[in-house]
Amino acid sequence: MQQTILVTGAARGIGRATAELFLSRGWRVGFHDVDGDAAAEAAGDRDGAVHGTLDVRDADGWRAALRDLCGDGPLDVLVNNAGVLASGPFTEIDLDGHRRQVDVNLTGVITGAHEGHPYLRRSRRGLLLNLCSASALYGQPTLATYGATKAAVKSLTEALDIEWRADGVRVRSLLPLFVDTEMVTRDGVRAASVAHLGVRLTAADVAAAAWKVAHERGLPLRGPHRAVGRQTRLMAAASAVSPSWANRLVVARVTR
C-alpha cells in the first residue's frame, strides 16, 4: 500500500528536498506551502504529488490540506518543516518580527500536530517529525527568539512522544546546525556562530535524515531527537555531559 507524507514549507529548501526524496521513492506526497504557486511548481504534474496553499498558523487550512491529501485514510508521516527566522540584536528586531517567529515556528507546529493527530493515529506506525534546530540546545545571542521557539518545539516533541505512544504515533525531531538554504544564504543570519562554525549541511542532508527516521526501528531507551550531521552530533553530545557553565562559555565564545 502506498504510504503518504505531508510536508510543510515544501516549496523550497529542506521541505522541498524532503518532499522530493519521498516522492522519488514511491510515496504519495503533499507539497504544502504558504506560497501556493511555488508549491505547485515544486510538485509539478508528477504521479503521487499533491500540492496546496497552507499557512501553518491556520487550523482551517490544516483541516482542508489533510482532507485533500488523505480523505478518510491515514497519514504515515507529517513533517512540520515550515519556519521563519529573524536574526540580529534582540532589541533591533521589531515585535512583529518576534511574534511572527513564535506564530510560525511554534504555533504552526502545535496546530499541525493537533490537526494531524487523528490521521497519524490511523496509520499503523504514524510519525510526527518536527524540524527543530541545534539552536535549541542553548540560547544564542542574535538568535534569541528563533532559538526559544526551537527549544519549545524540542520540549513539545518530548512530551508528545510519550503521550502519543499509546496511539501508536511516534514523535521525533531533527536538529541540524546551519543548513545551506535561502533562510541562511539569501536572507542572511546575523550570528557570529555562522562564521565560527560554517554552513556544512545541505537540504539533501536533512532530507536523508528525515528518510532515515521514517524507517528506523524502535529502540525503547532512545530519545526522540536526532542530531543531523557530525558537527551537530558532537555539539549535542558535548552539551549533554558538560556542566551548564561550560556550555555557557562555549556559546559565548562562538557567538563573539
Catalytic residues: 146
CB 99 within 8 A of CB 57: no
Decide: helix, strand or coil at residue 123.
coil
Residue of 153, 123, 124 whose CA lies nearest to 137: 153
Q: How many helices (H) and strands (E) does the chain have?
A: 11, 9
CB 150 within 8 A of CB 132: yes
Residue of 153, 147, 140 whose CA lies nearest to 56: 153
Torsion angle of C-alpha atoms 24, 185, 252, 223, degrees rounded to 10:
-10
In the chain, the DSSP E strands lie at 4-8, 28-33, 49-53, 77-80, 127-131, 170-176, 179-180, 201-202, 225-228
